[in-house]
Structure 1
């Protein structure tokens, strides 16, 4: 996703073994831009679900970008995988006894907006979080 010029973007490349660092990086960025303390837990759950999906279903390496737009914090996670969902991701609740397949459903409920783009250059999922 091209960003307007002048937007400050923080970026991290990661693999599955780096997921703890992904959460630390995301938390630091949220605190730096003033996300409310009581919102950070839900934010990190959503970020972790999407980042984990990227490196377990998409590609061995992924990239996270974090930036602000207006009064919101945006997190984009990109991997080189290609995925064509049957329906918009995370719209249908998992079955009561599901043990997987809940990540995007959970992330969608914890974000202001969740957008998935996939194509020849990989898959990117962008989450929007409200700031105070």
Structure 2
């Protein structure tokens, strides 16, 4: 991380709405606008929601900016993703499984590291 931290925060289910608003303000202050801002905030929201639902009930978010990029890292201590997990678009009638797919659509790059000690997802957007 070479950039300046904009936000570091531990979160749980009760704080997701406030966290989403903080991410939106910070991303907007960093230069994201319009559709890029909306998509990035939705992507971060999907990942933080997944951390609460599937990753142990809580997580840690770090948001920072470098010269031309905005990054968000979300870490949880859940059981990790299955090795065969994919981020393809789920079938239209599926009732779940869209979070990672939505997140991947909402940012320039999404990187997943997952194992028995938890999952770390890094999202990237150009500002």
1:116 to 112, 119, 124: 112
Aligned position for 2:96? 100
Q: How does 1:1-132 map to 2 (within 5 A)?
A: 3-4=1-2, 7-9=3-5, 10-87=7-84, 89-90=86-87, 92-119=88-115, 121-131=117-127
TM-score if structure 1 supplies the norm length?
0.86
User: How far, CA to CA, are the matches of 2:49 and 2:67 in structure 1?
Assistant: 27
CA-based RMSD of the aligned residues comes to 1.6
Q: For 1:83, what is the secondary structure of its paired residue?
A: coil
1:48-89 deviation line (CA, Å, top 9, x unaligned): 110000011001221110011341101110111131433464
Which has a greater percent of strand?
A: 2
1:13-60 deviation line (CA, Å, top 9, x unaligned): 110111101111110110111112332211111111100000110012
**In structure 2, do the counterparts of structure 1 residues 100 and 21 end up closer, same or farther at CA, with 3 Å as the change threshold?**
same
- What runs of 5+ residues in structure 1 fail to find an aligned partner? none
Say whether the 8 Å CA contact 2:46–2:103 is kept in structure 1.
yes
User: How far, CA to CA, are the matches of 1:30 and 1:78 in structure 2?
Assistant: 19
Matched residue count: 126
**In structure 2, do the counterparts of structure 1 residues 130 and 88 end up closer, same or farther at CA, with 3 Å as the change threshold?**
farther
